[in-house]
Amino acid sequence: MAIYDDTAGATVRIACGSASGSGFHFHHPGILVTCYHVIEHAPDSAEAFTESGERWELDFVGGSEPERFDFAIYQVVGDAPNAPVLLPDTAGELPPRGIEVVFAGFPHGVPDLLLQRATVAGVESDETCYLDGSVNGGNSGGPIVDAASGKAVPGSEDLEAMAAEAQALYAACRGIQGGAFVMGIDFGAFAQMVARTNLLLRQLLEANANTGIGIGLRIDCVVAELEDLSLA
């Protein structure tokens, strides 16, 4: 089907330092869009890779930070790609609840492009909607037909809080010398074991945190930014 071929042909993998996400060709050859949170730690060092292994250096030209619309716009450095598939400018209302959409990307940073289906499960705001599908880390920034996707992991803040508590507990427990026995138990060794277990549990939860819920963003904000940059 054309929608699958076009979505796949427009999608690239975005690498930025140790971070990895997805992106897509939009509006004009040489213009790529991704999520700002994918590149926020080093926006000037992002690169794009196609499914076939082509690599392009990118020049950051604008965007919006995650707390606003969470998008970033890049231009390919040097010659624009030859006849890339460009996703159409379909600015307008968000798709209604229950509509099936297609999204593409490189989940978990794998080098293989995956196309998947999701259902619009609800509306978060006038600009964003919830997707019910197998959305994973690495899908962030990829296209959802006419939208840019972002990974939403309910409870991620709880995981960070758990990590901070576990790290503090482990640091404190390391100061407890062995030999402090309570009812025959080496309390120092026991406390350190509990702290290490909490750290491992947090890592396990984070590695497998896939609720299947993603966030879709209206493309209007990207179009408006391109117009402001005289790239539309």
- Which residues of the chain are modeled with pLDDT < 70? 1, 83, 88-93, 146-212, 232
Q: What is the CATH number of the domain that holds 114?
A: 2.40.10.120
Query: Do residues 53 and 15 make contact, with C-beta atoms less than 8 angstroms apart?
Result: no
Query: Do 147 and 173 belong together in one domain?
Result: no
Query: Do 99 and 194 belong together in one domain?
Result: no
- What's the confidence (pLDDT) of residue 21? 92
Tell me which residue range forms the domain holding 168: 156-206
Q: If you write DSSP's letter for every residue of 51-119 in order, what string do you get?
A: TT--EEEEEEEEEE-TTTT-EEEEEESSSPPSS---B----SSPPPTT-EEEEEE-GGG-SS-EEEEEE
- What's the confidence (pLDDT) of residue 32? 94
Query: Do 194 and 215 belong together in one domain?
Result: no
Query: Do 47 and 114 belong together in one domain?
Result: yes
Query: Do 199 and 168 belong together in one domain?
Result: yes
> Which tens digits make up the pLDDT trace of 36-67?
999 998 999 999 999 888 899 999 999 887 77
Query: Do 54 and 161 belong together in one domain?
Result: no
- Say how many domains are in the chain: 2
- What's the confidence (pLDDT) of residue 94? 74
- What's the confidence (pLDDT) of residue 73? 95
Query: Do 101 and 182 belong together in one domain?
Result: no
**Predicted structure pTM score:** 0.72
